[in-house]
Amino acid sequence: MTHIHLPRPGRPIITVIAGALAGALVAFVGPQIPSALDRPGCAETVMRAVSSDQTVKGSYGCFSKSLQAGLLTVGVDSDRSFADHIGQNGEYHFLHKTADGGYVYEYDRPTTPHDRFKGVIGALAVPQMRADVRRGNILAVWSEPHDVRRAWAEITGQTQNDESRLFTIYVGSNGRITAIK
């Protein structure tokens, strides 16, 4: 008779933590999936173009003929001119679908943009800690001021001083944008 030795879990706490993380992922991401699948491509394309100063292919073509005529009055007649006249670096995210069929997006444009990553590094005193280690003063690493609140404000974008706007995009049966409020 052959015995098969099964591995015994050495760290049950890791299993518990992994299970909790998987549960949190399902709880927070699961409800987002149906609304993500319902969003029309042109709405996403235009919001990507609005939140970038780079050319986004297909952004101008996503508008209905009447909206293209309106854009022409402000000098927008192509994807490139859309980026030049309208696009600004920022971030957007989908909020919800309205009862009348609109898709609501929030767009945040930083009024004092800066590198978030460098802000977090500075708030956690990483450069000072590296200097302490290079000098061989390991104990000084622990005495450096680690501003966790400021680091969190950098991570969440609170220090960017964002200006927020809401856009409700209406899409026609042909998939093109018919109105933006």
Domain boundaries of the chain, sorted by first residue? 12-111+161-180
Q: What is the mean pLDDT of residues 25-52?
A: 71
Give the residue from 51, 32, 55 showing the smallest Cα distance to 43: 51
pTM of the model: 0.57
pLDDT at position 140 over 70: yes
Using CA atoms, how far apart are residues 126 and 120, in angstroms rounded to an integer?
A: 9
Give Cα separations from 151 to 47, 55, 163, 170 (angstroms): 28, 32, 20, 38
The pLDDT of residue 120: 80
The pLDDT of residue 91: 86
DSSP 63: B
Using CA atoms, how far apart are residues 172 and 164, in angstroms rounded to an integer?
A: 26
The pLDDT tens digits for 2-14 are: 677 655 655 666 6
